[in-house]
Amino acid sequence: MNIISYEPLWETMKRNDISQYALLKHGIDNKTLDSIKKGKNITLLTLEKLCNIIGCTPNDIIRFEKE
């Protein structure tokens, strides 16, 4: 089981009307999006980029779940 969930990211994107295409246009690459979809790790730099693109905080992108 993954400790980090990206479910808040998808909810935040929907709420802010941000598409995956918009992320790609702003410098988030396909490999990174694929990693997020698969629940893999991302860098803090990527987390910061997502926050800047979407206009949110890290809590709006990731959630730590207990095992």
Q: Is 64 helix (H, G, I), strand (E, B) or coil?
A: strand
First to last CA, the chain: 7
Mean pLDDT confidence for 9-33: 96
Q: Is the pLDDT of residue 2 over 80?
A: no
pLDDT at 66: 78
Task: Decide which of 1.25.40, 1.10.260, 1.20.950, 2.20.28 is the CATH code for 4-64.
Answer: 1.10.260
Q: Is the pLDDT of residue 67 over 90?
A: no
Buried b (16+ CB within 10 A) or exposed e, 40-64: eebeeebeebbbebbebeeebbbee
pLDDT tens string 29-64: 999 999 999 999 999 999 999 999 999 999 999 999
Mean pLDDT confidence for 7-31: 96
pLDDT at 22: 96
Q: Domain boundaries in the chain?
A: 4-64
Q: What is the largest CA-CA distance in the chain?
A: 35
